[in-house]
Amino acid sequence: MRRPANTTLALLVGVSLIVIVVTLYLTMPRQEPVSGPGVNFTQVNLSEYRVRFLGWVVDYDPFSVTDFSNHSGAFTWVSPTGLYVDEEYKLGGAPADVTSTARNESVMILPLIANKNFDRSIVHGILSDTGVRDSVVDQIDRFVEAGGYDGVNIDFEDVPEGDRDLLTRFMQLLTERLRPEGELVTIDVPAKTSDTTIGWAGPYDYQALGQTCDLVILMVYDYHWSGGTPGAVSPLDWFEDVLRYSSSVIPASRLVVGIPFYGYDWPSGGTASGVSFQQALGTAEQVGKPVRFSNASGEYTFSYSKGGVDHEVWFQGAKSTELRLQVMQRYGLDQVAAWCIGQEDPRTWEVIVRP
């Protein structure tokens, strides 16, 4: 029997609404419970990726050095922190002690050198005064040669926007000095998705630095940072946007993608504290809150209250690293760095494998 037209129309509308609802449910980003009190992260399925890996080993955490020693076989390069250029434009501090382990495992050592406390006036003085600039280049050259290091990792941050070309020139001079001696010159650059010349990332000319330096290391993290609102540290959509732009202007052989091993715990209305994987899990267990995984961002998260203050936590696990390596693979990239060693999910070393 033929149904009345209005009945048929109602059925079609109903079916259409069901299809739309189901489609939205299946495609919307969801947070899947994967851990929490009594649940183990060893249940997460992981795949390994053969990549050239650089890890920053920090001088202020003895466990960072120990962790490097335990997993040095996964490293291609190691960058010990602790060195800086001070207010008098002298090289000061001392790098974390990684030399013996690195040599035994044939890991190249690239000590990190920063402008002390990321002081803007210091980096401006280095770049804008040719006498200071040449002196700093000389000091770095002598330091690398005296230590028998394989190169250097420059981490000049809070560079004035007007010093963009001066930063490129500094790196050119440093490369001209070190490369003939077989030493690598590398630079850490903030992440960006276009050739902006303003803001924190503005002074870093990706294309020019990619033509000059042996390695350009993207710091693809702090999308949400300690002084901002809570959220993923390196959400996957933004991460891919950064790779899409950077891979279009920097040769793949010189591009290293920096990822976070850390997270943040934001108190409501306050400044976040950095947390490692183990610290985040310890807090979740202490307060009895389940940890959830955000498919959209590729990070773990949970919320809790303590002392009348609400907190929101976002942090990384081995799955976070795996998902970022998947994105890198789509862009033909196989060189990755991480800040910092000692803060990671122990199962990360099932994902990162040296070729």
Asked if residue 176 is part of any domain, the answer here is yes
Report pLDDT for 13.
Answer: 35
Do residues 259 and 321 touch, judged by C-beta distance below 8 A?
yes
Q: Give kind and range of the element (H or E) at residue 152.
A: strand 151-155
Domain extent at residue 138: 39-261+320-353
**Residue 6, in any domain of the structure:** no
Adjacency order of strands within the sheet including 255-260: 91-93, 83-85, 112-115, 151-155, 184-190, 215-219, 255-260, 335-339, 52-57, 77-80, 108-109
The 8-class DSSP code of residue 36 comes to B
Q: Which long-range contacts (CB under 8 A, 24 or more apart) does 91-96 make?
A: 91/136, 91/139, 91/140, 91/143, 92/116, 93/59, 94/59, 95/59, 96/57, 96/58, 96/59, 96/64, 96/65
The two structure tokens encoding residue 236? 């996957």
Taking the C-alpha atoms of 128, 131, 134 and 140 in order, what is their torsion angle to the nearest 10 degrees?
-90
By the 8 A CB rule, do 65 and 102 touch? no
Residue 355 and residue 71 in contact, taking contact as beta carbons nearer than 8 Å? no
Element (H, E) at 55: strand 52-57
Q: What is the pLDDT of residue 42?
A: 80
Query: Tell me, what's the pLDDT at 37?
Result: 47
**pLDDT (tens digit per residue) in 225-249:** 999 999 999 999 999 999 999 999 9
Predicted model pTM:
0.90
- CA–CA dist 302, 291 (Å, integer): 5
The alpha carbon of residue 109 and the mean position of all alpha carbons in its chain are separated, in whole angstroms, by 19
Is 225 domain-assigned? Answer: yes
**Domain assignment present for 94:** yes
Predicted pLDDT of residue 189: 98
Asked if residue 141 is part of any domain, the answer here is: yes
Among residues 110, 120, 115, 109, which one has the least CA distance to residue 93?
115
Supply the CATH number for residue 105's domain.
3.20.20.80
pLDDT of amino acid 23: 40
User: Are 103 and 133 within 8 A, CB to CB?
Assistant: no
Answer whether residue 305 is part of any domain: no
Q: How many domains does the chain have?
A: 1
Query: What sign results for the dihedral spanned by CA atoms 208, 211, 216, 218?
Result: positive
Asked if residue 17 is part of any domain, the answer here is no
Give CA–CA dist 257/252, Å, rounded. Answer: 10
Q: Are 75 and 54 contacting, i.e. CB atoms less than 8 angstroms apart?
A: yes
Low-confidence residues of the chain: pLDDT under 70: 1-40
CA distance 153 to 96: 14
Whether 194 maps to a domain, the answer reads yes
pLDDT, one tens digit per residue, over 120-174 is 999 999 999 999 999 999 999 999 999 999 999 999 999 999 999 999 999 999 9
- What pLDDT was estimated at residue 100? 97
